[in-house]
Amino acid sequence: MAKTDGNVYTVIFATIMVIAVGGILSALAVGLKPAISENERFEKQQNILYAMGVNENVEGDNAVNFIPTDKVEAEFKNYIKESYIIQNGKLDNVADSIAFKIDMKKQSKLSKSERKLPLFIGERDGGKYYVIPMYGKGLWDAIWGYVALDKDLVVQGVYFDHKGETPGLGANIKERYFMDDFTGEQIMSKTQYAGISVAKGNNDPKNDDKTDNEVDALAGATITGDGVSAMIKSTLKLYIPHIKELNKKS
Amino acid sequence: MAILSKKDQRLILDPLADDNPITIQVLGICSALAITAQLKASIVMAIAVLFVMGVGNVVISLMRNIIPSKIRIIVQLIVVATLVIIVDQVLKAYAYSLSKELSVFVGLIITNCIIMGRFEAFALANGPARSFLDGIGNALGYGVILIIIGFFRELLGSGTLLGFKVLGDPIEKTGLYSIGYENNGFMLLSPMALIVVGLIIWVQRSRNKALIEEN
């Protein structure tokens, strides 16, 4: 019997291998972390600006085009004027970097009173934009995004992203033909808060009626769509009183 | 190639044509369908697999006499997984948008049948130098097909190559589009990749009758 067949040898080999591999990988992770987190920061800035309508989209083309990463840092400073944190029903003006660092995934797991909700205020062409980060559940995994409201609580733009929705179905929430439908949509039904529902079989597939609080659903993505509706509805509800409060101030 | 013996040359050249992992061994189809909608993603995937295959084959070959036979598949898996994580992290650090695009498929290199197949069939029984050549050869064979598919899908589907509008502008109707040419959006969907693979297999086998299996 070869020496490599023994149980003791096998166990020792496995142990050494795991330790060696673990060491290599953790060294790599530590070494690359600064570069990776910088990329993630740029991505978040791109997403926030995208929701505000600051992007390089081309009319008629269906591709999502962000502000390029080499410019996004400067553009972000240029457009985002103020940041707030809402905690326990109280609104606090904070430095942009503090609100920016809040991880919605972690916050969504905290209890209501501990949860910090960031709010970014941007200005573009003289108009004021309230950019709200959202975090929710799709069919397979997390979905998240940003929605920009103006002072009249009309949606000015959205950005959605997902971790693992079905390619070709639920994953299409990050396609322009879905996201563009939200622009101009009301979140209030007269004076009542209604959110926006991703509705199938609605009477307005071309989305001409912006006051019906509905956008047309994606075929084959019912649960992802429901997740988007629920995410918008539950998130915006927490922000609306504070946006009204901020409106009064200015 | 003079520095390599005839036998070693075949290790590199065979997988490029007559023993191609995709078209002849029909391995690694899943990634060939999934990420070839653009030429750029195909090229990056080819490079990533080239790295994992080349290094992985050498590592397995170096350890071939000390790997306990009872857990050899797990050891192979750990080697692939480690290399794939390295590729994934490096992409995230230096080519972030590309890594988002490739997303799960970089992780899927782990399950790419070509890699485990070459570890088990070749690296466990051969020295590191020959294993390296075998790994490079098979990865190149895989990459060549990936790049061919990516070329046709991006050209016919989006009218671009590596992002450059080679056929004119579809919106402003310049170039080919001015005479009524339209992009075929179907080329961007995975089923068309399967058809392109099928066409490549057809062309290859009709040129070399020896490759046709007997029923």
On whether both A178 and A79 belong to a single domain, the answer is: yes
Q: Does B188 touch chain A (CB under 8 A)?
A: no
pLDDT for residue A239 is more than 80: yes
- Among A56-60, B103-107, B116-120, B127-131, top mean pLDDT goes to B127-131
Number of domains in chain A: 2
Whether B99 and B91 have beta carbons less than 8 Å apart is answered as yes
Closest CA to A177 of A217, A142, A211: A217
Task: Copy the structure tokens of residue A180.
Answer: 């563009």
What contacts B2, CB < 8 A, 6 or more positions away?
none
Query: B75 CA to chain A: closest CA distance, Å?
Result: 8
Whether A218 and A169 have beta carbons less than 8 Å apart is answered as yes
On whether both A20 and A67 belong to a single domain, the answer is: no
pLDDT digit string, tens, across residues B120-164: 888 888 999 999 999 999 999 989 998 999 899 888 887 888 777
Query: A143 CA to chain B: closest CA distance, Å?
Result: 15
pLDDT for residue A22 is more than 90: yes
Indicate the average pLDDT of chain B.
83
pLDDT for residue B1 is more than 60: no
- Name the pLDDT band for A1 (thresholds 50, 70, 90): very low
H or E stretch covering A223: helix A222-249
On whether both A116 and A156 belong to a single domain, the answer is: yes
Q: Give the range of the structural domain holding residue A33, as residue numbers without chain letter.
A: 3-41
Task: Copy the structure tokens of residue B18.
Answer: 């007559």
Chain A residues inside the 8 Å CB shell of B69: 2, 4-5
Closest CA to A52 of A26, A72, A32: A72
Tell me the Ramachandran region of residue A89: left when phi exceeds 0, alpha when psi lies from -120 to 50, beta otherwise.
left
| pLDDT for res A3 | 66
Return the residue matching tokens 């101030």.
A249
| pLDDT for res A26 | 95
Average pLDDT for B82-111: 81
Q: Does the beta-carbon distance from A35 to B78 stay under 8 Å?
A: no
Q: Does B182 touch chain A (CB under 8 A)?
A: no
pLDDT for residue A181 is more than 50: yes
- Name the pLDDT band for A131 (thresholds 50, 70, 90): very high
Residues B134, B146: Cα–Cα separation, whole Å: 18
| pLDDT for res A114 | 86
| pLDDT for res A47 | 92
On whether both A35 and A48 belong to a single domain, the answer is: no
On whether both A137 and A24 belong to a single domain, the answer is: no
Query: A43 CA to chain B: closest CA distance, Å?
Result: 9
**Chain B, window 105-164: residues with a beta carbon less than 8 angstroms from a chain A beta carbon:** none
On whether both A14 and A108 belong to a single domain, the answer is: no
Residues A203, A209: Cα–Cα separation, whole Å: 9
Residues B187, B146: Cα–Cα separation, whole Å: 14
Average pLDDT for A131-147: 92
- Among A29-43, A156-170, B5-19, B30-44, top mean pLDDT goes to A29-43
Give the lowest-confidence range in A23-27, A124-128, B36-40, B104-108: B104-108
pLDDT for residue B179 is more than 90: no
CA terminus-to-terminus distance, chain B = 37
Average pLDDT for A176-190: 88
pLDDT for residue A247 is more than 50: yes
For chain A, the C-alpha Rg in angstroms (whole number) is 22
On whether both A52 and A121 belong to a single domain, the answer is: yes
- Name the pLDDT band for A11 (thresholds 50, 70, 90): very high
Residues A159, A166: Cα–Cα separation, whole Å: 18
Q: Does the beta-carbon distance from A5 to B104 stay under 8 Å?
A: no
Regarding an ipTM greater than 0.85, the answer is no
pLDDT for residue B215 is more than 70: no
| pLDDT for res B3 | 66
Whether B23 and B201 have beta carbons less than 8 Å apart is answered as yes
pLDDT for residue B211 is more than 80: no
Closest CA to A181 of A148, A220, A207, A149: A207
Task: Copy the structure tokens of residue B7.
Answer: 């036998």
On whether both A9 and A85 belong to a single domain, the answer is: no
Indicate the average pLDDT of chain A.
87
Closest CA to B190 of B32, B20, B26, B4: B32
On whether both A131 and A36 belong to a single domain, the answer is: no
Return the residue matching tokens 């033909």.
A177
| pLDDT for res A46 | 92
On whether both A100 and A191 belong to a single domain, the answer is: yes
Q: Does the beta-carbon distance from A28 to B86 stay under 8 Å?
A: yes
On whether both A29 and A93 belong to a single domain, the answer is: no
Closest-CA residue in chain B for A6? Answer: B68
Q: Does the beta-carbon distance from B93 to A25 stay under 8 Å?
A: no
Average pLDDT for B96-118: 77
Comparing CB atoms, the residue among B66, B70, B100 nearest residue A5 is B70
Q: Which of B31, B55, B71 to mutate to test the interface with A (most CBs of A within 10 A)?
A: B71
Residues A117, B6: Cα–Cα separation, whole Å: 67
Q: How many CA atoms lie within 13 A of B87 on its CB side?
A: 29
Task: Copy the structure tokens of residue B12.
Answer: 């590199």
Task: Copy the structure tokens of residue B179.
Answer: 């005479």
Task: Copy the structure tokens of residue B77.
Answer: 């898996």
Residue type, B13: L
Average pLDDT for A11-27: 93
On whether both A91 and A10 belong to a single domain, the answer is: no
DSSP state of B127: -
DSSP state of B119: I
Strand pairing report for A197-199 and A214-216: parallel
Chain A residues inside the 8 Å CB shell of B89: 28-29, 32, 36
The C-alpha angle with vertex A156 and arms to A152 and A160, in degrees rounded to 5, equals 130
- Name the pLDDT band for A132 (thresholds 50, 70, 90): very high
Residues A49, A64: Cα–Cα separation, whole Å: 12
Residues A147, B66: Cα–Cα separation, whole Å: 57
pLDDT digit string, tens, across residues A71-126: 888 888 889 888 999 888 888 888 888 888 888 888 888 888 888 899 999 988 88
| pLDDT for res A202 | 67
Cα–Cα distance list, B170 to A5, B152, B176, B181 (Å): 64, 17, 9, 9
Which residues pair with residue B19 across a beta bridge? none
CA terminus-to-terminus distance, chain A = 84
Q: Which of B88, B96, B174 to mutate to test the interface with A (most CBs of A within 10 A)?
A: B96
pLDDT for residue A135 is more than 90: yes
Give the 3-state secondary structure of B70-139.
HHHHHHHHHHHHHHHHHHHHHHHHHCHHHHHHHHHHHHHHHHCHHHHHHHHHHHCCCCHHHHHHHHHHHH
For chain B, the C-alpha Rg in angstroms (whole number) is 19
Closest-CA residue in chain B for A21? Answer: B82
Residues A219, A225: Cα–Cα separation, whole Å: 9
pLDDT digit string, tens, across residues A191-212: 888 888 888 876 777 777 788 8
More confident position, B97 or A103: A103
Query: B68 CA to chain A: closest CA distance, Å?
Result: 5
- Among A43-57, A209-223, B35-49, B184-198, top mean pLDDT goes to A43-57
Average pLDDT for A157-168: 84
